[in-house]
Amino acid sequence: MRFPDPRALLATLLVLAAPAAWGGAEQVRAGILAELRERYPALSPADMAAGAAAFDAARLAQAQARQPAPGAAEAIAAGKRIWTHRFAKGRSLAGCFPNGGRRIAAAYPQYDRRVKRVVTLETAINQCLKTYGQPLLDPADPATMGAVLAYLRSLSEGQKVAIRVAGAAAEARFEDGRRLYFTRLGQRNYACASCHLRHAGSYFGDAALPPPVGSAVSWPWLREGHPVSLQVRIRECLERMGAAPFPAGSEELAQLEYFLAYLSNGLPLRPGAWRPADGPHM
């Protein structure tokens, strides 16, 4: 299946199947897993974590030849420096998190009852900096936030993704994320789901479209040596959809990430995977 022409894609998508009736996060996840399993019975959720490479043997070989990905060690080292840098009164980012941040990443994003928001790793990091009067990190900057995420997530390598959606308020935020994922946005009238769910595995330009399951496992991805976070990737897709991307660090991105991360529950974290530079997809 190939549809390199965006107009052809649009035509096939004029009737985007209505998302399943709302029945809670676990039901949504089961429905999406079942849909993908039916279409790709040979692919497990763990296979899908390879992204486009799950459908593309040549890409898979390229990725496997680039383990660890070029730039990953440098990003992790740079992130560790920022993480352990002591600011006022001997404080550091490391001191804000249990165990210096070891084995915490697989539980993010999480719904925080106190602030009634979805808290991503980026939000938690900036909250710590704010508490100690430090300048915040730009969630879209690979050299600072990207590097910190590369380090912090490396401390959870192999831990299973364990996103909790417990209670009505958390379910409501998950539902916000799900709804955004299925809503057509932008000039080209695509929803995330148009590409990543309905056409998962089809080629769009020269890339197979990665499914939503597994997409929270291997970020930050290394692209041309630079770490790319899940939020940054989502913003790139929004731009390609002809939509104004939600601001870095926004609640919308956090909700989308909450939804996507929940779909990866149970899969081991493998941060720092290689991804190629993006071609002209649209």
Number of residues forming the site for ligand HEC (CB under 6 A): 23
Q: Give 152 or 208: the residue with its C-beta nearer to ligand HEC.
A: 208
For the chain, first and last CA: distance in Å?
A: 17
- Rounded to a whole number of angstroms, the minimum distance from the CB of residue 99 to ligand HEC is 28
Using CB under 6 A, pick the residue from 82, 94, 104, 192 that binds ligand HEC: 192
| Encoded amino acid at 149, one letter | L
- Between 249 and 278, how does the x/- string for binding to ligand HEC read (CB under 6 A)? -------x------------------x---
**Which residue is associated with the tokens 């958390």?**
170
Closest to 227 in 3D by CA, of 159, 120, 145, 156:
145
Binding segment (CB under 6 A) for ligand HEC, from list 79-87, 111-119, 137-145, 189-197 = 189-197
Q: Give 16 or 119: the residue with its C-beta nearer to ligand HEC.
A: 16
Cα torsion angle, 230, 42, 197, 19, sign: negative
Asked if 238 is part of the footprint of ligand HEC (rule: CB under 6 A), the reply reads yes
Distance of CA 95 to the CA centre of its chain: 26
Asked if 204 is part of the footprint of ligand HEC (rule: CB under 6 A), the reply reads yes
Asked if 156 is part of the footprint of ligand HEC (rule: CB under 6 A), the reply reads no
Residues linked to residue 274 through DSSP beta bridges, in sequence order:
222
Using CB under 6 A, pick the residue from 209, 213, 261, 267 that binds ligand HEC: 209
Residue 65 CB partners (closer than 8 Å, separation 6+): none
Q: Contacts with ligand HEC in 13-72 (CB under 6 A)?
A: 51-52
Using CB under 6 A, pick the residue from 29, 173, 196, 223 that binds ligand HEC: 196
Binding segment (CB under 6 A) for ligand HEC, from list 30-38, 74-82, 125-133, 231-239 = 231-239
Asked if 108 is part of the footprint of ligand HEC (rule: CB under 6 A), the reply reads no
Quick check: helix, strand or coil at residue 173?
A: helix
Residues with catalytic roles: 237
Q: Where are the beta strands (DSSP E) in the chain?
A: 110-112, 117-119, 203-204, 207-208, 221-223, 226-228
Distance of CA 158 to the CA centre of its chain: 17
Asked if 210 is part of the footprint of ligand HEC (rule: CB under 6 A), the reply reads yes
Closest to 265 in 3D by CA, of 226, 221, 214:
214
CA distances from 66 to 96, 135, 172 (A): 33, 35, 40
The two tokens of residue 272 are 């720092």
Residues linked to residue 119 through DSSP beta bridges, in sequence order:
110
Asked if 194 is part of the footprint of ligand HEC (rule: CB under 6 A), the reply reads yes
Asked if 232 is part of the footprint of ligand HEC (rule: CB under 6 A), the reply reads no
Q: Give 12 or 84: the residue with its C-beta nearer to ligand HEC.
A: 12
Q: Rg of the Cα trace of the chain?
A: 18
Q: Give 148 or 241: the residue with its C-beta nearer to ligand HEC.
A: 241
Query: Interface with ligand HEC by CB under 6 A: which residues?
Result: 51-52, 190, 192, 194-196, 204, 207, 209-210, 215, 221, 230, 233-234, 237-238, 241, 256, 275, 281-282
